[in-house]
Structure 1
């Protein structure tokens, strides 16, 4: 069975995806119906004795109270979408006060854990303090959330940490994630006039305060964990100005931010962790009055302009984390773009916000707490300026080439078996790969990428030696093969393998000059891997393998919606597609060119 981490409403969950998932396909979390008591909304709304007025948590004094009658429609829309998320979570929540499991929330695999419970608390806090919500001030929901916080306290270790049950135990960074999610909601609820809010705020502060002690001393695993911990400390510092929070954050910040000259963070995780780093650096900058940290965010947001496909998706193929090659949009960047669009009056950042609103706004819901807490983000965006839609660039640190010309674009990748992809709005060539049967190691992967005169150059060289008898002075006395390493044997009959791909622009698309040689008569198979959902013409289906096609001659076409990709010419000398030493088939519709070395051909993709 295949499992994956899913980003749902700003939280990560483990989900069973079944037996297969073609590389590059989108991943969607599905809520399974649970045999749980249904949550009943109390139809009687609570009366509040004074206007709801949460505090302003910025660097300075309040600029004005949160005026819900003037709440912009896009915030109202997010609040209502948050209600839908809450409704789904409540279906997995034990909401019967007489049950010993009152307040428990199961995840996608039937476990109660800190993250499943946090999903309820975080989402419910947004609803409880938002007048447009159907759950605004709901007293039964307050009871349920108070019980859920009690469950969370039971799951918290004595050292203040929690577990990410899929991998990390007594985890400081995962505790940091939870703190940064819940501290803003805690502050908003504490400053509200909601009756009986103490059922939540008192135990929640106990959790947060204990977590803060762990954050002052605990370690991390990954580059972004440092900034997550810093942001959690900053969120706590805005509640209680404990100097220990600032001191610990300064220790991590002394390592300096891991942004390269391309504008990308170390993990190159364009969908998940780069956007996360932006959000948590903003929180750290605000909480500790460190505005210089925002410059790193600006640089990454500017770089991200060149990671956008014509349909609004984001380039993920260069990622070094679990979001590599998944389908995703820019929703995780909405808060950073909006925050700095308004702060800097940046018209291109405003344009990025508009793009997200058009392509992925429903997925912004998980970040609602940022917008409830900071009413300055409610103001109108500055007038937009066009985003770049015609360029050719190399990002050397990411070994990524990017070319866009209006309604089509391409990514060229060093260090990746899938070295080229092409997007033409609805029609998507997810990748091109090729493998040769060269001593079981002929999968083409270029370790570098060069950019010369507007052309991207990928190359690989391999050797296939045979080995002579081990010199007498190195012979063991017991015939043990493991004591006779190849490194000590003379080589002979050394075979050579050389492959090169030169990517250049032609009218309406690209040319790939592919050269495979060095040793003659080596079989190879080259794959054009397409996103499912389209139809082919000009190709022939394999006799028995599903989603496998051959382009034997001429040009092939792949049509999806109103868009068509033309590719070829074909080449066909055999039907061997599962080359020894090559990567397994992806399961996506794939067209093969087959042959033997030497091979030199110009492939066109338009």
Structure 2
């Protein structure tokens, strides 16, 4: 029997029809029971307008939506300030970049309405047009405060140029674009946000590339989307364990931005990796309003061929090898450091259900996932001038499937300041130029980690021999949804167990990670200033220098195993 061919547009229409029905039922229920319904706005219009304009939708030309859409337009226009900007009410007030994010969606919904040619939708179309007209001064004069905002602004300005043809929009966009793209040679943005802002940059820069004919925009999209083939875990969730933004440590799939941009770029380049990633988004992304809108506006560019190659699940790749990131070395540290710095080394290792990430420049230096079982981070904390968990500046390849991290930490004390440096400070320590104090009792602690990647896990060797008697602690942070077992586990604090000897096994839905083996060379529950992750199941192992030990992490299917 022949399998019927898929119709992606029809599937999206059916999916959005169902979501709109759920929205309407909830709204009616809230009103009937005296609850305040969810506010209306551009999200409501992004859901209703495409279906109202789509002949294949059961809501096509449904007159019962006229009042709802008018109310949504009116409410949306009320969010716009005199400056033409909107506010992200819990964060960014009178915000040009948040307005730019909205302009992207507003312009797309407007184009759906305009291209439909339906007189019935003209009032909604005019309301969206009014929002864009009012946004002109906001976009032409407003600034940014994160790196990706430049590309979001440029993309919004491109859409405004496409609709209005005003050269001022092009000129303003290139004030941002001419700064140059903040991307590493292997395709990573400053913000290192695989689940959120990679997609945001890509979808907005696609508009820049198409509307302005700006080829460098396509080049950075290609580099970043190419890198992303190495950033998926076995369940197709995105590697967020080293993010510099709010997706840090979150379990997230590729979103609608990824769905759209991988389809568009696969169509543009016929790149087999982009085709494979587009197919994965077909299976895992939410496929919301933006997906349907782009199918309606660019149906040919959104089509995938019938036979899409599968993405490789076996690779080891070190990104940013040799890059030295700024991390705390001199303790006490008197300055400010950048978190998750641009270009810090990242290693990704996949063997089917096994997924490992090694990360320089942050305390959570290793992530392991096997199927459903996740260890969100391995940390090495030191009893060294209150440093807590140590961040290492780089990752280096040292042999076949073998890598290392190392650091030399300086500890010291400080001399009194000469009188001329504190005479006018009234004894207030924090007002004194403390960075000018001379150091005393300087000492150095060398720490080194070696990683041997295995087909079923990782071996981590911890070495420190320069100063005897220093307390060290390895901290394994497991998913709180799973269970820990092992005769050598002792509960030492809420959310924290110590593996004093033997092995511990973490299990979740038949997938396991075994940690071998325990140690209790000192009795401290945690190192001073070490932050306990209370959302995780923490397992610690305690060492005292000189230290030369190996921890083995073995991943395997354990369903039915007697633990």
TM range, smaller chain: 0.7 to 0.9
Preserved contact between residue 347 and residue 383 of structure 1 (Cα < 8 Å): no
The answer to whether structure 1 residue 124 and structure 2 residue 48 are counterparts is yes
Secondary structure at the residue paired with 2:43?
helix
Give the structure 1 partner of residue 407 of structure 2. 460
Q: Distance in 1 between matches of 2:61 and 2:67?
A: 11
- Quick check: 191-200 or 426-435, which moved more? 191-200
Q: How does 1:357-506 map to 2 (within 5 A)?
A: 357-358=282-283, 360-381=284-305, 383-396=307-320, 397-453=343-399, 454-468=401-415, 476=423, 480=427, 482=429, 486-487=434-435, 489-506=437-454
Q: Distance in 2 between matches of 1:199 and 1:136?
A: 17
Aligned pairs, number: 522
- Quick check: 452-461 or 274-283, which moved more? 452-461
- Quick check: 437-446 or 573-582, which moved more? 573-582
Give the structure 1 partner of residue 125 of structure 2. 201
Q: Distance in 2 between matches of 1:218 and 1:105?
A: 33
Q: Distance in 2 between matches of 1:383 and 1:410?
A: 30
Q: Distance in 2 between matches of 1:237 and 1:477?
A: 57
Q: Distance in 1 between matches of 2:306 and 2:130?
A: 41
Preserved contact between residue 236 and residue 245 of structure 1 (Cα < 8 Å): yes
- Quick check: 576-585 or 183-192, which moved more? 576-585
Q: Distance in 2 between matches of 1:570 and 1:379?
A: 53
Q: Distance in 2 between matches of 1:439 and 1:96?
A: 56
Q: 1:480 to 1:560 in 2, by over 3 A?
A: same
Preserved contact between residue 358 and residue 366 of structure 2 (Cα < 8 Å): yes
Q: How does 1:30-429 map to 2 (within 5 A)?
A: 73-87=7-21, 89-90=23-24, 106=38, 117-331=41-255, 332-358=257-283, 360-381=284-305, 383-396=307-320, 397-429=343-375
Q: Distance in 2 between matches of 1:491 and 1:419?
A: 30
Higher relative contact order (CA 8 A, sep 6+): 1
TM-score by length of 1: 0.79
Give the structure 2 partner of residue 566 of structure 1. 514
Q: What is the CA-CA distance between 1:488 and the residue it aligns to?
A: 5.0
Q: 1:142 to 1:71 in 2, by over 3 A?
A: farther
Give the structure 2 partner of residue 529 of structure 1. 477
Secondary structure at the residue paired with 1:181?
helix
Give the structure 2 partner of residue 101 of structure 1. none
Preserved contact between residue 95 and residue 144 of structure 1 (Cα < 8 Å): no
Q: Distance in 2 between matches of 1:599 and 1:439?
A: 19
Q: What is the CA-CA distance between 1:330 and the residue it aligns to?
A: 2.1
Give the structure 2 partner of residue 601 of structure 1. 549
Q: 1:364 to 1:601 in 2, by over 3 A?
A: farther
Q: 1:587 to 1:217 in 2, by over 3 A?
A: closer
CA RMSD across the alignment: 2.9
Q: What is the CA-CA distance between 1:121 and the residue it aligns to?
A: 1.8
Q: Deviations over 1:386-425 (max 9, x none)?
A: 4233222221124211122232121111111100011112
Listed as ranges, the gaps of 5+ residues in structure 1 are: 1-69, 98-103, 107-111
Q: Distance in 2 between matches of 1:152 and 1:166?
A: 17
Q: 1:431 to 1:544 in 2, by over 3 A?
A: closer
Q: What is the CA-CA distance between 1:279 and the residue it aligns to?
A: 0.9
Q: What is the CA-CA distance between 1:487 and the residue it aligns to?
A: 4.6
- Quick check: 474-483 or 433-442, which moved more? 474-483
Preserved contact between residue 540 and residue 549 of structure 1 (Cα < 8 Å): no
Q: 1:364 to 1:416 in 2, by over 3 A?
A: farther
Q: 1:235 to 1:525 in 2, by over 3 A?
A: same
Q: Distance in 1 between matches of 2:288 and 2:26?
A: 22
TM-score by length of 2: 0.85
Preserved contact between residue 389 and residue 530 of structure 2 (Cα < 8 Å): yes
Preserved contact between residue 194 and residue 239 of structure 2 (Cα < 8 Å): yes
Q: Deviations over 1:101-155 (max 9, x none)?
A: xxx974xxxxx6xxx6222122222222223434322223122111221222222
Preserved contact between residue 260 and residue 302 of structure 2 (Cα < 8 Å): no
Q: 1:466 to 1:295 in 2, by over 3 A?
A: closer
Q: 1:434 to 1:160 in 2, by over 3 A?
A: same
Q: 1:219 to 1:139 in 2, by over 3 A?
A: same
Q: 1:476 to 1:245 in 2, by over 3 A?
A: closer
Q: Distance in 1 between matches of 2:474 and 2:419?
A: 45
Secondary structure at the residue paired with 1:293?
helix
Give the structure 1 partner of residue 462 of structure 2. 514
Q: 1:296 to 1:539 in 2, by over 3 A?
A: farther
